[in-house]
Amino acid sequence: MNLSAEELWEFYRRCGKLRVRFQTMAAQSLPPAKVVEHCKALGLPVDRELYQADEGELAYALDLAVYQAPPGRSRAIDRIARQYAGREGEESALVLNALSRSWLSLFQVLGPHPEAGLVLQDLVLGGEVWVLDEALAEHAAPGTVLGIRLGRVCGFAITCGVVAVLDPAMATEVQREVGDDRDLAEELLGNLRFVRGLWLLGLGFRPE
């Protein structure tokens, strides 16, 4: 991209606002009971109207509600992407595509990207990815292992909202379990119980 660092960060911020908008729409399209179900699975104190939920903690339950779905069912984020396809501007289309094609994995921070943001290595699926995220750029030191859902926008990727800082040993264990079997890796990374375990770690809990 032929943008300065300042222009990249401005573009990223616009993408971030669109991400929040579309994820909120996806969450609001779901029955409240579904979000409550995910809150309870994460051990979050919440009533049926979600009034007792901490906003930061609720984001982990909303991720599960928006990006996970039972076998044979469509995800809330995919329904929103289909609903608004062709009805929004170019940047909205880029973000909708990024969210609907986002992937979750375990990543290690390699260091700063020469233009802006960070370079992460996907420890499970392989490859490197350029990520723009202000919080990660400020706080994630090289070598940090993270569980994140990323969506590629236009050369770079953005996070889908929540992050779990992990013990590197967990990534090693997952690598050992899946080996070079990409199908097995994708199956594991898409498994609700596995993702829930990551977000429990993100919330500071130890999964059972």
Q: How confident is the model at residue 205 (pLDDT cuts 50, 70, 90)?
A: confident
Contact 158, 19 (CB under 8 A): yes
Q: How confident is the model at residue 70 (pLDDT cuts 50, 70, 90)?
A: confident
Per residue in 148-161, is it b (16+ CB within 10 Å) or e — as a string?
A: bbbbbbeebbbbbb
The CATH number assigned to the domain holding 132 equals: 2.40.50
Residue span of the structural domain in which 195 resides: 103-202
Do residues 133 and 179 share a domain?
yes
Neighbours of 96 (CB within 10 A): 24
Number of domains in the chain: 2
Please list the alpha-helical segments (H only) found in the chain: 5-28, 32-41, 55-67, 76-84, 90-100, 134-139, 168-178, 182-189, 192-202
Cross-strand partners of 158:
151
Per residue in 187-207, is it b (16+ CB within 10 Å) or e — as a string?
A: ebbeeeeebbbbbbbbbeeee
pLDDT tens digits along 2-50: 788 899 999 999 999 999 999 999 999 999 888 889 988 998 877 666 5
Do residues 90 and 110 share a domain?
no
pLDDT for 55 equals 82
Do residues 65 and 23 share a domain?
yes
Average of per-residue pLDDT values in the chain: 92
pLDDT for 206 equals 54
Do residues 114 and 185 share a domain?
yes
pLDDT tens digits along 112-155: 999 999 999 999 999 999 999 999 999 999 999 999 999 999 89
3-state secondary structure of 14: helix
Domain-terminating residue out of 99, 129, 158: 99
Contact 157, 98 (CB under 8 A): yes
Which has more confidence, 86 or 42?
A: 42
